[in-house]
């Protein structure tokens, strides 16, 4: 990894809840609100944005663990801020704490942690080929 990444670095993404983000299984909507699946996706994306400027050309990040607490619903049209902050950076492991805030209702709707591991692309390729 390139130098410069440190605890406290953060990245934020904004999104608006759409019907495609509703809680659903096999196309059947269970609840017309922001799904936990979508929350995990956005948590991983915000966390990934932190590492992108620091990856060497021969490196890639891999998600290794996500913990999430979905605390409140957010309906269609809710504007969400997903902010990830580096809480720990050790060798090739980056942990980020992530907060999901619903601006429409001025509340936190989720929080969690994302663990990413930085590995050489070639090593990742070999691991995938063994599947």
Q: What is the fold, at CATH topology level, of the domain defined by 10-129?
A: Thiol Ester Dehydrase; Chain A (3.10.129)
Task: Quick: pLDDT tens for 29-49.
Answer: 999 999 999 999 999 999 999
Q: How confident is the model at residue 105 (pLDDT cuts 50, 70, 90)?
A: confident
Per the prediction, the chain carries an average pLDDT of: 96
Asked whether residue 96 carries a pLDDT value surpassing 90, the answer given is yes
Closest CA to 7 of 36, 48, 50: 50
Percent of the chain with pLDDT over 90: 95
**104 DSSP 8-state letter:** T
Q: CA-CA distance, 129 to 20, in Å (whole number)?
A: 32
17 CB-side CA count, 13 A: 26
Asked whether residue 122 carries a pLDDT value surpassing 90, the answer given is yes
Residue 41 is predicted with a pLDDT of: 98
Three-class DSSP category at 57: coil
Task: Over range 56-66, report the average pLDDT.
Answer: 96
- Quick check: 84 and 115 in contact, CB under 8 A? no
Q: How many residues does the chain have?
A: 131
Domain boundaries, the chain: 10-129
Residue 104 is predicted with a pLDDT of: 81
- Quick check: 16 and 77 in contact, CB under 8 A? yes
């Amino acid at each position: 990894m390139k130098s410069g990444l440190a605890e406290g670095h953060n990245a934020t993404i904004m999104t608006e809840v759409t019907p495609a983000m509703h809680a659903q299984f096999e196309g059947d909507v269970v609840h017309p609100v922001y799904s936990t699946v979508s929350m995990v996706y956005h948590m991983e994306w915000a966390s990934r944005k932190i590492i992108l400027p620091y990856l060497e050309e021969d490196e890639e990040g891999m998600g290794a663990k996500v913990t999430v607490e979905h605390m409140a619903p957010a309906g269609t049209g809710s504007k969400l801020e997903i902010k990830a902050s580096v809480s720990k950076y050790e060798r090739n492991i980056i942990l980020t704490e992530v907060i999901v805030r619903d601006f429409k209702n001025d509340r936190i709707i989720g929080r969690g942690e994302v663990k990413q591991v930085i590995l050489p692309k070639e090593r990742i390729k070999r691991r995938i080929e063994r599947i």
